[in-house]
Structure 1
Amino acid sequence: MMFLFQFLNRLAALLIFTLLFQTAFAQSEGKIESKLEKHFQKGNLEKCKKAAVKFKSKEPSSVIPYYYLSRIAYAHYCNFDNTPDKKQYRYLKQSTTHLNKISETYPEWVDSLKIGYKQYISSWNDSAFVSSHVKSAVKQYAVIFSDTLDLYWGYYKTKQAAPELIVEYQVPKTDSLRTALLSFASKWVGTPYSWAGEDPKTGFDCSGFVLYVYKHIGIDLPHSAQLQSELIGKVLSLEEAKPGDLIFFGRRKGNKWRTQHAGIYYGNENGEPKVIHCVSGGVSIDGNNSSWDYYWKDLILFVKRLPDLQN
C-alpha cells in the first residue's frame, strides 16, 4: 500500500513538473515568435533569420523557426524584378524546404506558397521558351503539393493578350449593375478551385472567377490577374471601394507591381472589408477571419473601378 502511495505521489509530481515545463516553453515560444515577427515586419530579414536559426538550434522540435525561415526566403523571392532568375527560384524553393514541419500549424501559409509556385510557373511560361528554372519549379511543385495537374499548364499554358474592354449590355444605374454582379457572384460560393478554370462546371482560378462574374453583366476581361489589374479604370484605396469593384493583391516595387491574386470587393461589415474571390479552397467570401488577417489584407495593391461601374 505504501509503495502504491509513493508511486502515485511521484507520478503526480512528474505530471506537475511536465505541465510547468510545457507552460514555460509555450511562454518562451510566444516571446520568440513576437521578436521574430517584429524583425520581419520591419524588414530586418537578416536579423530575423539569425534569430530563427538560433532558436531552431535550441528547440529543433518547434515549428516557429521553420515558419519564419520559410517567410524570409519567400520575401527575398518577392523582391526580385519580373525576370526568371536562378537565384530567385532558389529562394522560392527554400521557402518550401521544411513544408512538412509547418503544414499542420500554418496551413494558410502553405496555401500561399502553393499560389506563389503557380504564379511563378504561369508568369514565366511562354509557348516558345520555357526556362530551366520554370521546368524545375513545375517538377518541384508536383512533388511538394502532390498536384500533377499544373505540370501540364506549366509547360503548355500560353500568354493571353489583354482584350479591349467590351460592354455588351447596359443598365440605367450602376447600383443595379453592382447588385446583379454580386448576386451572381454569390451563387458560386463553394465552387472548387481549378488552375486556369473559368467555368463553374470545372472550377475557377482567381482571375477566371472574376472573368466569369463580370462577363455576366456584359464586361469582358482577360484571364490573367496581372492583365486585369492593368485595365483602364479608376484606382482607389480600400476605404473608397464600392461593392463590385475589383481588388488586386500582390507585391509592389516602385511604380511597378506584380499581381498575384484578384477578387471582387463585396462590402463592409462592422468596419471590416469583405471580398469574394476564388482561393485554393474554392470560391469564398472572406473578411475578418484567419485567412484574411493572416495573408490577404497585407498584400492589397489597390482597388480598381472599371469605367462602366463609375457613376
Structure 2
Amino acid sequence: MHPHPAFRFTSRLSPAGGAKLLSLGALILLLAACASTPHRRQPTFRTSHSGLADLPPRAPSAASAGEANDILFRAIALVGTPYRWGGNTPAGGFDCSGLVDYIYRTAARIKLPRTSHDMAAMDGRNVRRMTQLASGDLVFFDINGAISHVGVYVGKGRFVHAPNSGGTVRLDDIDGPYWGDHFAYGKRVLD
C-alpha cells in the first residue's frame, strides 16, 4: 500500500523549496528569540491610573507648543520599537538616550548629547516637581546614585522611554512605584 500522494515526502528539494524551508526556519528562530526571556529587566509596575492624569495638559510655552506637539507625536509613534543598547534609529532599535535624541532631532531639529548623564548636565531649566512637568520635557531617573535613564514626558502623568534589554519603547506612568521612586527631575529644553 502506497501513501497518499499528498503525504509523500522526498529527500530532494528544489532550489525554491530549499529557500522556502530556510525562510520558514529563520522565521521560527526569530519568533523563538522574540519570545525568550529578556536578559536584564527593570521592574514593571503598572498603576491603573496615574495620580497626575487629572492635571490639565501643560505645554512648555506658547512659542514652543507646536514643537512640543511634534515631539509628542513622534514619541508615541515609536512605542513598540525594540530596545537595543547603543541604538538610535527605528530600524536598529533604541536605548533610552538614543530614543530621546532621535525624537528631538527629527521632530524639533535639536541635537542632544548622546548619554542620559550628558543630557542631564546640558543647559535648560530643571523641573523638580512632577506636577510642574510640561509635555516634551526630558525626564531623568537616578538609579543607583546616578542619572542613568531618560525619557520624554508626554503629559497626563505618562512618559515614553526605552527601558531595558529585551523590551520595547513604551509608555509608562511617571509616578508609579518604580519610576516615581527614581524620578530625579525634568529638564525643559523647548523654552
Q: Same fold (TM over 0.5)?
A: yes
Aligned residue number for residue 49 of structure 2: none
Residue 278 (structure 1) aligned to one of 151, 155, 162: 162
Greater Cα offset, 174-183 or 279-288: 279-288
Looking at both structures, which has the greater relative contact order when contacts are Cα pairs under 8 Å and sequence separation is at least 6? 2
**Aligned residue in 1 for 2:126:** 235
* Kept after mapping to 2: 8 A contact 1:251/1:301: no
Residue by residue over 1:47-87, the C-alpha shift from the partner in whole angstroms, topping out at 9 and shown as x without a partner, is xxxxxxxxxxxxxxxxxxxxxxxxxxxxxxxxxxxxxxxxx
Whether contact under 8 Å (2:173, 2:179) holds in the other structure is no
CA drift at 1:293? 2.7
1:304 aligns with 2:190: no
Residue in structure 2 matched with residue 117 of structure 1 by the alignment: none
3-state SS in 2 of match to 1:249: strand
Aligned pairs, number: 132
Match of 1:248 among 130, 140, 162: 140
For the residues of structure 1 that align with 2:159 and 2:66, how far apart are their CA atoms? 19
Relative to the length of structure 1, the TM-score reads: 0.40
Paired residue type of 2:169: V
Q: Deviations over 1:24-57 (max 9, x none)?
A: xxxxxxxxxxxxxxxxxxxxxxxxxxxxxxxxxx
For residues 298 and 208 of structure 1, what CA distance do their matches in structure 2 show?
23
Distance 2:163 2:92 in 1: 15
In the alignment, what sits opposite 1:295?
178
Distance in 1 between the 2:110 and 2:130 partners? 22
Seq. identity, %: 32
Gap runs ≥5 in structure 2: 1-36, 44-61
Whether contact under 8 Å (2:86, 2:94) holds in the other structure is yes
**Superposition RMSD in Å:** 2.3
User: Is residue 263–residue 275 contact of structure 1 (8 Å, CA) maintained in 2?
Assistant: yes
Paired letter, 2:159: V
| Larger-gyration structure (1/2) | 1
Counterpart check, 1:222 vs 2:108: no
Q: TM-score, normalised on structure 2?
A: 0.64
- Corresponding residue for 2:80? 190
Q: Which residue pairs with 2:48 in the alignment?
A: none
Show the counterpart of 1:211.
101
Q: How far apart, CA to CA, are the structure 1 residues paired with 2:63 and 2:123?
A: 20
SS of equivalent residue, structure 2 residue 81 = coil
For each residue in 1:259-296, what CA deviation from the matched residue of structure 2 results, as whole angstroms up to 9, or x when unmatched? Answer: 1100001101xxxx1111111211111127xxx63421
Question: Is 1:259–2:189 an aligned residue pair?
Answer: no
**Distance in structure 2 (CA, Å) of the matches to 1:206 and 1:234:** 21
Whole-Å Cα distance in 1 between the matches of residues 73 and 41 of structure 2? 27
How far apart, CA to CA, are the structure 1 residues paired with 2:84 and 2:143?
23
Q: Within 5 Å, give how 1:125-136 maps onto structure 2.
A: none
What corresponds to 1:111 in structure 2?
A: 41
> After the TM superposition, which segments of 4 or more aligned residues of structure 1 sit over 2 Å from their partners?
none
Does structure 2 retain, via aligned residues, the 8 Å contact 1:266–1:276?
Answer: yes
- For 1:191, give the aligned amino acid: T
Distance in 2 of aligned mates of 1:279 and 1:251: 12
Specify the SS of the correspondent of 1:296: helix
Instruction: Note if contact 1:206-1:279 (Cα within 8 Å) is conserved in structure 2.
Output: yes
**Which residue does 1:181 correspond to in 2?**
71
Structure 2 distance, partners of 1:294, 1:242, is 21
Equivalent residue letter for 2:151 = G
Give the helix-richer structure, 1 or 2.
Answer: 1
Unaligned runs of 5+ in 1: 1-106, 114-171
Instruction: Give the superposition deviation at 1:223.
Output: 1.2
2:111 is matched by which residue type in structure 1? D
